[in-house]
Amino acid sequence: MSIPPIKPALMDYLPYIHVVLCRPSHPANIGSAARAMKTMGLTQMTIVAPQLIATPMTPQPPVFQENQPFRLPEESFVLSSGAKDVLENARIVDTLKEALSDTVISCALTSRRREISVNPQTPRQLAPEILQMAHQKNHVALIFGNERFGLSIDEVMQCNRLMTINGNPDYFSLNLAQAVQVVSYEIFSHIDMPMTHLIQSHNPVPHVEIDGLIGHFAQIMQEVGFFERRNQERLMRRLSLLFERAGIEREEIDIMRGFLKTVGKRLEK
C-alpha cells in the first residue's frame, strides 16, 4: 500500500505579498502576470491606472478613469489561464501612492540606471526579507512598470527598495510576465528555508507614517522660511527617500515629530 502524498497548504502569509502593475498597457500581459504569480502562490494583484491599448482581441479596450469602476477585458482573463481569481480580486487604484499606503517594503523593479541613491538588490537578496516581513503580517509590494517605459523616476522614488534581475548584458528583454515569473519564483524558492537566522529587531512602519513625518517637516520648514529659493518638492522627496532607505522605526519617527512639534511651539511664542 502506498501512502498518498499530503498536499501542503500554501503559507497563509503569502497574501501579504502584493504584485503592483503600474500603468500596464497590454490586456494579455495583465493576464499572463496573474498566471505567473499564481504558479508561485502569489494571489494579490494591484493595478495602478491601467492604460490599455487596442489589440486584435481587444480592439476597444476600456478606458480607465479615476473614481470610476473599471473592468479588465476578456483578453486578460483568457491569458490568465486559470488564474481568473487573481484578476477578479485585483485592486484597481488611481495612484501608486494609494497602492502602497499600507506597505512596509516596496520593491521597485527596474533594469535601468537611475539617478537614485537606493542600492539595487537582486530578487535573491531581497526574498528573505520580503518573506519575513509578510510572515510578520506586514504588507510588501513588488512594483512593475509599464511595458514600454518601465517605472517613472517619481514611481521609483515612492519605493524603498530597488530590485533588479540580472541577465544577459547584450540582450535584456524580459517582458512583464517573465519578470513577474522570475521574481515570484525566486520568492517561492525561499519558502522551504528556515528563516530563523533572519530574525532582527527591526520594526519598520507603514508608508503612511513616513508621509506623516515628511508632511510635518514640510510644515515646519515652511514656517521657518526654509524653502525660500529652494525646490520644495525635490527636497521633500529626498528626505522621504532618506527615511525609506533607513527603514525608519516608530521610535525614530516619534523623536523627529517630537522635535518638530517643539520647534513649532517655540515659533508661536
Is residue 259 part of the contact set for a copy of itself (CB under 8 A)?
A: yes
The contact mask relative to a copy of itself for 30-69 (x = CB under 8 A, - = no) is: -----xx-xxxx----------------------------
Per CB under 8 A, the list member of 62, 165, 206, 209 interacting with a copy of itself is 165
Per CB under 8 A, the list member of 1, 59, 168, 268 interacting with a copy of itself is 168
Is residue 193 part of the contact set for a copy of itself (CB under 8 A)?
A: yes
**Three-class secondary structure of residue 141 per DSSP:** strand
Q: In angstroms, what CA-CA distances link 50 with 11, 53, 197?
A: 30, 9, 40
Per CB under 8 A, the list member of 4, 60, 66, 115 interacting with a copy of itself is 115
Is residue 197 part of the contact set for a copy of itself (CB under 8 A)?
A: yes
Residue found by looking up cell 495602478 in the block: 48
In this structure, the number of other CB atoms found within 10 A of the CB of residue 238 comes to: 12
Is residue 229 part of the contact set for a copy of itself (CB under 8 A)?
A: no
Closer to a copy of itself by CB, 49 or 159: give it: 159
Is residue 214 part of the contact set for a copy of itself (CB under 8 A)?
A: no
Closer to a copy of itself by CB, 77 or 226: give it: 226
Q: DSSP letter string over 45-58?
A: EEEES--PPP-SS-
Q: Buried b / exposed e across 166-176, counting CB within 10 Å, b at 16+? A: eeeeeeeeeeb
Please choose, from the candidates 84, 82, 62, the residue with its C-alpha nearest in 3D space to the C-alpha of residue 73: 62
Would you give the distance in Å from CA 99 to the centre of its chain? 8
Closer to a copy of itself by CB, 54 or 63: give it: 54
Please choose, from the candidates 63, 140, 61, the residue with its C-alpha nearest in 3D space to the C-alpha of residue 107: 140
Residues in a beta bridge with 22:
48
Closer to a copy of itself by CB, 60 or 196: give it: 196
Per CB under 8 A, the list member of 20, 72, 83, 142 interacting with a copy of itself is 83
Is residue 127 part of the contact set for a copy of itself (CB under 8 A)?
A: no
Is residue 145 part of the contact set for a copy of itself (CB under 8 A)?
A: no
